[in-house]
Structure 1
Amino acid sequence: MKEIKVPELAESITEGTIAEWLVKEGDQVEKGDPVLELETDKVNVEVNADASGVIAELLKEEGDDVEVGDVIAKVDENGEAGGSSDDSSDKKQEEKQEEPKEEKQEQQQSTAAEQKEEKKQESSEQEGSKGDVIATPAARKRARELGIDLSEISARDPLGRIRPEDVDTAASSKKEKKAAPKQEKKESKKESSEKTEFDKPVEREKMSRRRQTIAKRLVEAQQNSAMLTTFNEVDMTNVMNLRKERKDSFLKKHDIKLGFMSFFTKAAVGALKEFPLINAEIQGNEIVKKQFYDIGMAVSTEEGLVVPVVRDADRLDFAGIEKGIADVATKARNKELQLEDLQGGSFTITNGGIFGSMLSTPILNSPQVGILGLHNIEKRAKVMPDDTIQARPMMYIALSYDHRIVDGKDAVQFLRRIKEMIEDPYDLLLEG
């Protein structure tokens, strides 16, 4: 018998939750076949069979928490698919063949025992004292068959004699009581809402492992950093005009649409080069200034926010950035992200504008010390250099930073530099 264990996942991941079993007991598997999907803090991963054979036993259920090294299933290397059910059929066939003799013998023994017991009960009823239970022989037989204690049955007979129908009523009541816990379990959410501190109905739902991790890290980011946010606004007119001019030729040439994120990614990389502390992190008493530009892109999924990384964004042109963003976003939504897709970012960009956010203060993606927040584009009145007032497409941008190593002056100038590059995007195109 071969054991299937939770494998080593990554240096920072030691446990997970069984999201879904991909096999059941009796299934044939080959070595390397996926047998379950495991939800970890960062991504869902598949656990594969260590040997070929038949799944003999599943030791854990969906929803169970497991740690690296835990035995979660057993594989019979000499078994055959569906073997257990075949064995069961053979056994039943054998039992069926032997049944006539045994059944006849058992019936004879049972009949003799019942006759003896009934005579004994009749005698007991005739000689019984005040404390005895009075019941007809048929009622006593019925009670034995159903496993009912006669002393717990209330008789409807005026003389207190328990009859078979009284036994049946008691059995039905007992069955209902056993079924009640199952019904309570099904309605647990409803009942829990009635038994909480709330006066009105609520619904309780267990947080997924990933949601718990997100919550934990967001709180840690606020507790372990001196986080501050600064704001600015960007006139998107020139970017929108340039995008409108180039989008068709860009799509035809690169087979991908030209979006706003590539402009902001290029601008962020340019600004990070001018203000390297915003591309750093703190390790103990040291400041680690990163000489690479791996930009995290916050992506919203059904299970929560994830931040896959576009590697070496400084070496990519606009098409490369757009393809990188599209790739990680698709993998995130299809639950195809690997651990390496989420590790090692140096700076993060989050775009709440796609959901209609006007203004927000993004939370740092620790251990990074800077995150850029983008928002929706709205036409607002703007005073132009010639003192005229025009309706211009404006976007608020926000930079949250760790004040322990980033001074306010650098943060403000960093954001202003991004504003300048976005409002004059032709230089970005030339550099790209």
Structure 2
Amino acid sequence: MKEIKIPELAESITEGTIAQWLVKVGDKVEKGDPVVELETDKVNVEVNAEVSGVITEILKEEGDDVEVGDIIANVSAEGGAAVESVKEVAPAAKEETPTEAPKAVESPKTPEEPASNRDVIASPAARKRARELNIDLSTVTTRDPLGRVRPEDVEAVANAPKQQTTPAKQEPAAPKAAAAEFNKPVEVVKMSRRRQTIAKRLVEAQQTAAMLTTFNEVDLTNVMKLRNERKEKFVEKHGVKLGFMSFFTKAVVGALKDFPLLNAEINGTDLIVKKYYDIGIAVSTDEGLVVPVVRDADRLDFAGVEREIANLGKKARNKELGLNDLQGGTFTITNGGTFGSMLSTPILNAPQVGILGMHNIIKRPVVMPDDSIEVRPMMYLALSYDHRIVDGKEAVQFLVRVKQLLEDPYDLLLEG
């Protein structure tokens, strides 16, 4: 009898939710076949069978939360004999359990681990140490500015007086029948793990960063003119359309080079100023907002940026994004204008300290330098930034620089 376990996924992902079983009891699987789809904080991943055989028992149902190392199913490696009678294999599995029981006892993942640990941002090492010491992570105070619990924080709680380590929260669980609080018809829908994570991180970003937003507007006359002039030849030459996002991505990279603190992050009392430009492009999907990353955007030409954005957008819509597509961005661009947004204040994508919000293009009367009035395609821009390391003057100048590059896109295209 073999077990199917939740494998190591990534350093920042230690748990997930069973989204969908791809097999059922009695199905024969080959080594490497996908057996279950797991929903994590960032992406959905498939767990593959590590041995060929027949599924004899499914231990976790769809919707159950699981952690790395949890056993979710049993597989008989006996081949065809097990296919004929799955029920005859199942008792054998139960008879083998006593010999495997000591392993379960030795496992650091004890059943007594508080469920509230799952709601705490912590490093894998901190989670492991908390399980070993039987410490509720929700009672641990961290010095990390982003609220991430680290092993030394757990050790500090373990070494503190006992009265401080005793969890003070034994509150009764909220009633399951939440709908009973309403006198009129409602529908109670469980939030997906990804939506819970989005909600948690957005609140944490507002609580941990000194977030401020500055605004400006940009005249896109020249960008639109240049696109109209080059779009047909651009498609013929590169096989991809020339969109707005490549202009904004290149303008952001140019401005980040002039104002590097907006391409940094805080690590304790240190600043990590990044000398590379991995630009996150926010993409809306049915399951929530994801931010895939265009790597080394400064080294790509306009066609390269457009290809990357198109590829990442397609993968997001098809639920094919991998962890490597989402990790490590240095700055984010979000385009609410595609949905008709006129003005908004985007929330930081921690630990990044800057995010640019694009909005819809509206034709408005503009007073020109010669005092004449012309109708121009205008867009409001919003820059949210972390005031802990970025001063208002620097943020305003950054946004002005983006505006200048977009209003003179011919130089931007040549430089890009």
> Do Structure 1 and Structure 2 share a fold, with TM-score over 0.5?
yes
Q: Deviations over 1:356-399 (max 9, x none)?
A: 00000000000000000000000011100110111111000000
2:360 is aligned with 1:360: no
Task: State which of 245, 251, 256 in structure 1 corresponds to 2:240.
Answer: 256
SS of 2:224's partner is: helix
- Paired residue for 2:311? 327
In 1, Cα distance between equivalents of 2:364 and 2:13:
47
In 2, Cα distance between equivalents of 1:272 and 1:412:
13
- Paired residue for 1:298? 282
Give the partner amino acid of 1:306. V
Q: Aligned pair count? A: 330
In 2, Cα distance between equivalents of 1:192 and 1:86:
39
Please show how residues 113-128 of structure 1 align to structure 2 within 5 Å.
none
SS of 2:289's partner is: strand
- Paired residue for 2:299? 315
Asked whether the equivalents of residues 56 and 86 of structure 2 are also in contact (C-alpha less than 8 Å), the reply is: no
In 2, Cα distance between equivalents of 1:312 and 1:245:
27
Supply the RMSD in Å over aligned alpha carbons.
Answer: 1.6
Larger Rg: 1
In 2, Cα distance between equivalents of 1:56 and 1:201:
42
Give the partner amino acid of 1:275. F
In 2, Cα distance between equivalents of 1:199 and 1:378:
44
2:62 is aligned with 1:46: no
- Paired residue for 1:412? 396
Task: State which of 205, 217, 224 in structure 2 corresponds to 1:240.
Answer: 224
In 2, Cα distance between equivalents of 1:3 and 1:367:
38
SS of 1:397's partner is: strand
Asked whether the equivalents of residues 25 and 58 of structure 2 are also in contact (C-alpha less than 8 Å), the reply is: yes
- Paired residue for 2:83? 82
Please show how residues 186-197 of structure 1 align to structure 2 within 5 Å.
193=179, 195-196=180-181
- Structure with greater proportional helix content: 1
2:276 is aligned with 1:275: no
- Paired residue for 2:57? 57
Task: State which of 366, 369, 373 in structure 1 corresponds to 2:357.
Answer: 373
Cα displacement (A) at 1:82: 3.3
SS of 2:370's partner is: coil
- CA shift in 2, pair 1:86/1:66, >3 Å: closer
2:10 is aligned with 1:10: yes
> Can you give the 5+ residue segments of structure 1 that lack an aligned partner in the other structure?
89-188
> Can you give the 5+ residue segments of structure 2 that lack an aligned partner in the other structure?
90-175
Cα displacement (A) at 1:295: 0.2
Cα displacement (A) at 1:79: 3.4
2:192 is aligned with 1:208: yes
In 1, Cα distance between equivalents of 2:244 and 2:85:
59
In 1, Cα distance between equivalents of 2:296 and 2:47:
31
SS of 2:237's partner is: helix
Cα displacement (A) at 1:87: 6.9
> Could you tell me the TM-score, scaled by structure 2's length?
0.77
Give the partner amino acid of 1:318. F
SS of 1:293's partner is: coil
Task: State which of 359, 366, 383 in structure 2 corresponds to 1:382.
Answer: 366
- Paired residue for 1:111? none
In 2, Cα distance between equivalents of 1:300 and 1:384:
37
Cα displacement (A) at 1:341: 0.7
In 2, Cα distance between equivalents of 1:20 and 1:244:
46
Cα displacement (A) at 1:202: 1.7
In 1, Cα distance between equivalents of 2:232 and 2:254:
26
Q: Deviations over 1:286-313 (max 9, x none)?
A: 0110000000000000110000100000
Task: State which of 349, 360, 363 in structure 1 corresponds to 2:333.
Answer: 349
SS of 2:85's partner is: helix
In 2, Cα distance between equivalents of 1:341 and 1:363:
20
Q: Deviations over 1:179-211 (max 9, x none)?
A: xxxxxxxxxx9x864x21x33222110000000
- Paired residue for 2:122? none
Give the partner amino acid of 1:213. T
SS of 1:75's partner is: strand
